[in-house]
């Protein structure tokens, strides 16, 4: 089966722990990816977080000087992509994705999660674009020079620098991602650009009142702009309890496609950025179980194909 996922933190885990993409105990590795053809993955270069524990094997990105963090993440990504070039192609454009698919290889794309990872230099956006970054998640869980996260204050939005970043991304051809962004920041994005944007890994706030999730009004705005929303499989965004099941994820999928049709909804699983997934899904290798369950419940194959691949692929053909 085919799969296009909008967000994972696997490269960050490789950077922090010294593990490698080909063979590991993470959510994504060669054996898991090999189950899908075609397989397209946005790999996030994450701004970094201080872990609540510090095992000797963990080399925290936040211990690296701020102006060196992007370079360290990029070096890890390049190393892992090069080491897996026999099955994985680093892509910078829609044409690159098509070429990788036609060659029978997986396609890797780069994003930034948390714009504070951007180097503090006048040509930062040109620099990361030239490095291959094609999507920027404006905030993570902190306040930064660009804006405020939903985890900090929903009423505090983008800074003037953040609003300019949105405009500059539009001119440069970098997709803006509003996952993690505050409600006020979401409004600021809408005012700063008339272009489509995405929420790469967010669910429905109506079904689970997590500040990270989208309101119906926010989803409607993304849909009306012909943007894209990636359904997140992290349990706290699906349900307000310790465990979730595959049907909980399907509830969020149904909420979104029931509002505005099927073309706006994709997958943004948050693999290797989360520690609790629906029972039965332990990582990328198990995603077929979500597809099988949807088909068992009577969803059309076209709907499943759209969610798993076609919607994201078609969106990127327009945007990259």
Domains of the chain: 3-319 (3.20.20.140)
Indicate the pLDDT class of residue 52, thresholds 50, 70 and 90. Answer: low
**Residue 184 in tokens:** 């006020």
Indicate the pLDDT class of residue 264, thresholds 50, 70 and 90. Answer: very high
The residues, any chain, with a CB within 8 Å of residue 311's CB and separated by 6 or more, are 228, 262, 263, 264, 265, 266
Residue 55 has pLDDT above 70, yes or no: no
| Bond from prior residue into 297 cis (ω within 30 degrees of 0) | no
Partners of residue 106 on adjacent β-strands: 88
Q: What pTM was estimated for this model as a whole?
A: 0.97
CB contact at 8 A, 38 and 107: yes
> What percentage of the chain reaches a pLDDT higher than 70?
98
CB contact at 8 A, 172 and 178: no
List, for residues 115-160, the tens digit of each pLDDT value: 999 999 999 999 999 999 999 999 999 999 999 999 999 999 999 9
Residue 85 has pLDDT above 60, yes or no: yes
Residue 53 has pLDDT above 70, yes or no: no
CB contact at 8 A, 29 and 83: no
* Across 81-105, average pLDDT: 98
* Across 239-251, average pLDDT: 96
**Residue 17 in tokens:** 């722990």
């Amino acid at each position: 089966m085919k799969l296009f996922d909008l967000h994972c933190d696997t490269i960050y885990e490789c950077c922090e722990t010294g593990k490698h993409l080909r063979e590991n105990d993470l959510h994504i590795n060669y054996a898991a990816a090999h189950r899908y053809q075609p397989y397209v993955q946005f790999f996030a270069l994450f701004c970094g977080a201080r872990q609540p524990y510090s095992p000797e094997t963990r080399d925290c990105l936040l211990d690296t000087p701020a102006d060196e963090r992007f370079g360290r993440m990029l070096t890890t990504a390049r190393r892992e992509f090069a080491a897996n070039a026999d099955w994985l192609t680093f892509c910078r454009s829609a044409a690159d994705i098509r070429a990788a698919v036609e060659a029978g290889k997986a396609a890797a794309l780069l994003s930034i999660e948390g714009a504070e990872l951007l180097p503090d230099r006048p040509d930062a956006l040109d620099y990361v674009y030239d490095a291959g970054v094609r999507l920027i998640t404006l905030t993570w869980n902190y306040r930064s020079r660009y804006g405020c996260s939903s985890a900090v204050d929903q009423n505090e939005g983008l800074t003037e620098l953040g609003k300019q970043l949105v405009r500059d991304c539009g001119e440069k051809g970098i997709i803006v991602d509003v996952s993690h962004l505050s409600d006020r920041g979401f409004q600021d994005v809408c005012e700063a650009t008339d272009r489509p944007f995405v929420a790469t890994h967010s669910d429905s706030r109506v079904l689970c009142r997590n500040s990270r999730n989208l309101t119906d009004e926010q989803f409607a705005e993304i849909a009306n702009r012909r943007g894209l929303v990636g359904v997140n499989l992290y349990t706290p965004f699906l349900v307000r309890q310790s465990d979730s099941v595959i049907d909980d994820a399907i509830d969020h999928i149904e909420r979104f496609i029931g509002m505005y049709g099927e073309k706006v909804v994709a997958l943004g699983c948050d693999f290797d950025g989360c520690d609790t997934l629906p029972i039965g899904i332990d990582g990328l290798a198990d995603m077929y179980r979500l597809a099988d369950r949807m088909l068992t419940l009577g969803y059309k194959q076209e709907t499943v194909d759209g969610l798993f691949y076609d919607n994201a692929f078609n969106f990127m053909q327009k945007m990259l």
